[in-house]
Amino acid sequence: MVTSVINFYIRCNELTKAREIFNELKGRGVCFDVISWNILLIGYAQSNLMEEASSIFEEMKRDGVKPNYITLSSMLSGYSRQGNPRKAFVFFELLLDTVTEENWISLILGYIECGEMKEAIGLLNEMIKSGTKTKDLKWNLLLNKLIDKGDTQNTLQIFNTILLNGFQSDLIMNSKIIKSLLIAEQYPQAIQLYLHLNKGNGMELHDRVCISLLQHYLQRGQFDKITSLLNALQGEKVFWPGLYVWNTLLEMFSAKLNLNVLLKIKEYMKEMNLTPNVLTWNPLIECYVHINMQEALLQLDLMKEAGVRPNQQTWNILLSGFKRHLKDEQKAIETLKEKGYLPP
């Protein structure tokens, strides 16, 4: 019952209240077991209040309560999250033969967080030598941390190491690794890795990388980066965005009503001699529908002049635009017909 009350306040993030109750009961002579101490300690450790967690740990030992695996593991994880791997390592050593996959990964992440890559890679190699079985989910945590840090060289090194030790990388992780190399302008490494990972499995990985990379630059307005990328890869057979890639990006940015980006995409397509189809024109028309109906109709005329036939989606886009302006569906249909815009 007492433990439940303390746990309740911790779950509500009322750590001070939980500590007050704990101390009050302790002062009345209540003897807490390791489970009760752990509940309090974990609450502080998970809130990154490691000074307080350490104080609880020392007090627990003074009271003659022996820390168990959960106690030591929680302290290790807390210090690792805080970016203090040296203190985390103290608890790692205390775990001795009970060290688990979770403990290894927590400590390695702690070293990565504070940029001590030599120690992180050393620990990773020790972990592999120890024969510790590691789930792909944990490897993904490690790789995502490295990618977030922008450390492409070590990301690639660790990625190759764990691939050799049973890591089954999926489409999402493969595309993230390749994208990080392309952003770092390490084009040969990106191409080599892509060819190794894809092994003739179609265009899904290729298109995912292109879409993600170009979206990254377009969102930031880094048009010069796209130009540099296209110039660098002009003679290559990979990472050369096709019509599907650009159309997907047009749809993405049309939903955000980002006309400036849409027009830049059309420029890139023109430079690459790509012929727009109805899936190219529709996002542009949809964006104009929200900004200026006359311009949307002009885009429709330009589309027809280019020999591209409107489809049902084109009609629905225009109809929804007129409905918003006229507040009447029938009137919207009549207006479109009067202007000579009939459904396909």
pLDDT at position 202 over 90: no
pLDDT on residue 318 = 87
First-to-final CA distance of the chain? 71
199 & 273 share domain: no
pLDDT on residue 334 = 75
Per-residue pLDDT band at 3 (split at 50, 70, 90): confident
Domain boundary (241, 262, 277) is at 241
Which residues form the domain of 255?
242-344
Q: Provide, rounded to the nearest whole percent, the portion of the chain with pLDDT above 90.
A: 69
Query: Are the C-beta atoms of residues 281 and 269 closer than 8 Å to each other?
Result: no
335 & 250 share domain: yes
**Residue 10 to residues 6, 24, 54, 279, 342, Cα–Cα distance (Å):** 6, 16, 17, 53, 64
Closest CA to 249 of 275, 211, 278: 211
pLDDT at position 344 over 60: no
Whether 232 is in a domain gets the answer yes
Closest CA to 91 of 54, 128, 55: 54
Q: Compute the half-sphere exposure of residue 111: CA atoms within 13 Å on the CB side of its CA.
A: 19
Which span out of 18-22, 232-236, 275-279 was modeled with the highest average pLDDT?
275-279
pLDDT on residue 340 = 67
pLDDT at position 217 over 60: yes
286 & 222 share domain: no
313 & 325 share domain: yes
pLDDT on residue 1 = 61
pTM for this one? 0.79
Per-residue pLDDT band at 250 (split at 50, 70, 90): very high
Whether 106 is in a domain gets the answer no
Whether 209 is in a domain gets the answer yes
Whether 21 is in a domain gets the answer no
Whether 48 is in a domain gets the answer no
Per-residue pLDDT band at 2 (split at 50, 70, 90): low
Query: Are the C-beta atoms of residues 296 and 288 closer than 8 Å to each other?
Result: yes
pLDDT on residue 336 = 72
More confident residue, 21 or 320: 21
295 & 328 share domain: yes
| Mean model confidence pLDDT for the chain | 90
278 & 230 share domain: no
203 & 278 share domain: no
326 & 269 share domain: yes
- How far is Cα 217 from Cα 162, in angstroms, rounded to an integer? 30
**Residue 334 to residues 266, 292, 330, 339, Cα–Cα distance (Å):** 32, 19, 6, 9
Q: Which residues contact 322 (CB under 8 A, 6 or more apart)?
A: 293, 331, 332, 335, 336
- Angle, alpha carbons 258-252-223 (nearest 5°): 60
pLDDT at position 339 over 80: no
Three-state SS at 275: coil
pLDDT on residue 292 = 87
219 & 253 share domain: no
Question: What confidence tens digit (pLDDT) does each residue in 219-237 have?
Answer: 999 999 999 998 888 877 7
Q: Which of 198-202, 254-258, 307-311 has the lowest mean pLDDT?
A: 198-202
Query: Are the C-beta atoms of residues 7 and 39 closer than 8 Å to each other?
Result: yes
Domain boundary (188, 215, 241) is at 241
Question: What confidence tens digit (pLDDT) does each residue in 158-170 have?
Answer: 999 999 888 999 9
Question: What confidence tens digit (pLDDT) does each residue in 53-93 have?
Answer: 999 999 999 999 999 999 999 999 999 999 899 999 999 99
- How far is Cα 70 from Cα 211, in angstroms, rounded to an integer? 43
- How far is Cα 271 from Cα 279, in angstroms, rounded to an integer? 18
More confident residue, 132 or 45: 45
pLDDT on residue 200 = 67
Residue 181 burial (C-beta neighbours within 10 Å; 0-12, 13-18, 19+): buried
Closest CA to 40 of 32, 170, 184: 32
Whether 18 is in a domain gets the answer no
Whether 142 is in a domain gets the answer no
> 38-60 burial by CB neighbour count: b if 16+ within 10 A, else e?
bbbbbbbbbeebbebbbebbeeb
Going by the DSSP 8-state scheme, the letter that residue 193 receives in this structure is: H
Domain boundary (222, 241, 260) is at 241
| CATH number of the domain within which 331 lies | 1.25.40.10
Average pLDDT, stretch 16-29? Answer: 91
Q: Which two tokens stand for residue 319?
A: 């109809």
| Structural domains counted in the chain | 2
Per-residue pLDDT band at 328 (split at 50, 70, 90): low
302 & 231 share domain: no
pLDDT on residue 343 = 61
- How far is Cα 304 from Cα 342, in angstroms, rounded to an integer? 13
Whether 308 is in a domain gets the answer yes
204 & 270 share domain: no
